[in-house]
Structure formats: C-alpha cells, structure tokens
Amino acid sequence: MKGLRRVSAVTITAGAVLTAGAFTASAQAATTASPTIAAKGGFVMNNATGKSLFTKAADTRLSTGSTTKIMTARVVLAQPNLNLDAKVTVQKAYSDYIVDNNWASSAKLIVGDKVTVRQLLYGLMLPSGCDAAYALADKFGTGSTRAARVKSFIGKMNTTAKSLGLTNTHFDSFDGIGHGANYSTPRDLTKLASSAMKYSTFRSVVKTKSTKQKVTTKSGGYRYMSWTNTNNLLGSYSGTIGVKTGSGPEAKYCLVFAATRSGKTVIGTVLASTSVDARTKDAKKLMDYGFSR
C-alpha cells in the first residue's frame, strides 16, 4: 500500500508539472500574440536585418500625408556636396502656399528671413512645415522657374523611390498634399525611413523633441524660431528615435516610427489610423510586439 501511495503522489506531481508547463507556454504565447491595430495598414521590421516582424496590408497602396516629407529630407540629404549651412531666403510663395491649402501644416517661416538648409530640415520634420518643404524643393530642384524646380524635385523623389526598390510608391507633391497620385505602403515607407536613418543629420533631426533656431531677418537682424515635434512617441515611449507623423482627409492618421532597446532597433509604419491617439497606440503596440520577437 505504501508503494502504491508513492506512485500516486508521483503521478499527481508530474501532472501538476505538466499543467504548470502548459500554463506557462500559454502565457508566453499570449504575450507575443499578433496585435490588433486601428490602422488600415501596418508593418514593422528589424532595422538591422530587414526581417518582417508584423504585417497588415503591408503592400496596400495608401495615401501618405506628411510622412511624404521623409522622402523630401532624404532627397535633400543625398545631394552631392550638400552644404547644410547654406542660406535660403524665404519667399512669399511659400507662405501663400500655406494660406491656399487648408491642410497645410506650417513652420511659420517669415518672408524675407534667411534660414539654413539644416534649419529648414528641422522646420520640415518637427512641425511638419509644408512651407519648409516648398523652400527645400525650390532650392534643390533644377530649372529656370519655381514651377520647373518643384517638378524637378518631385522627379528626384520618384527616382529615389525606384532606386530604393519602393515599387508601390509614387509622389506627386513635395509635402504629402497630393493631387491623386501620392501614395505608398507600410512596407515601402518603412524601407524609406530605414534608408533616411542612415544619414546622421536625419537621425539628429527626427529624435529632437523641440528646438529654438536663430535665423537672420530681412533687415539683417535676427529672430528665434521655436519648433516642437509632432511625434508624441518622443518622451512617451522608451527608446524612441523618430520618425514622422502624417495626416490628411484621405491619409487619415499616419505614423512612421522607430525605437532602440538593448541594441535592437525596430522600425515601422501605420497608415490610415483613426485618430492621433489611435496611431500612437498602434505604433506602441507594434514596437512592443517587434521587441518581443
């Protein structure tokens, strides 16, 4: 009888171990379950390896809003012999453009001020200035008229997209206020952001929460321009290093994001989310998931 009791005890203990093991495995599976996001499309990858970690309509073409400005910056930074301290005079056309486009976000550039290319990149990426985007397109496009230069710059954006293998991407604007043919996908935008992050200037700009820049006025004096980053992941999600928000009537709410933890960088995109809060929550979920993989 004693022998039988010992066998039973062992059996019960083994069963308990099996049950505990099953519970642990179940808990682990739950913590790494693929997240549900509000956005129509989403993608996350390991930035070092390019390995896909999450996909939702990752190759579906969607409007990009101001995430387009990642390409605007990428084209500028790839210019040969780029002088980031070169000064650009703010033209009336840039401020008129803001007035004429209701959805245009602004860096509040002042006509006649002289701002550097570096400052324009901050004005482009932090407050998402469409006036800064216009100034950069005008500066780095080629042609004898402003319209020709802008067209040339947008051409450079599309050439760059092709060179990066972004087969589902096309731009018809320098800032994301498109004309029916401005689109990309979560996968393509993530690849674009990964490419842009190879430039140290880009990395420095997109991780900046706010900045105060001294610019030269028309009269030769100076003023300070203060810009705050629209990416509220900075300071609210540990390890965030960028990248860019976007919104619009067609684009809804978009966010390209990146974070580094324990030497691992995940980078991704959500397109056509339902609100500012939703796109932020979507991005946090996807980064959490990416870091768990």
- Residues assigned a catalytic role: 66, 69, 128
End-to-end CA distance of the chain: 51
**Joined tokens for residue 283:** 């991005």
Helix (H/G/I), strand (E/B), else coil: 255: strand
Q: Distance between CA 189 and CA 161 in Å, rounded?
A: 10
DSSP conformational letter for 170: B
Q: Minimal CA–CA distance to 72: which of 155, 142, 143?
A: 155
Q: Distance between CA 141 and CA 136 in Å, rounded?
A: 8
Q: Distance between CA 141 and CA 156 in Å, rounded?
A: 8
Are the beta carbons of 129 and 106 closer than 8 angstroms?
A: yes
Beta strands in the chain (DSSP E): 41-46, 52-56, 62-63, 87-89, 114-116, 183-184, 210-216, 222-228, 240-248, 252-261, 264-273
Q: Distance between CA 53 and CA 47 in Å, rounded?
A: 10
Q: Distance between CA 180 and CA 1 in Å, rounded?
A: 84
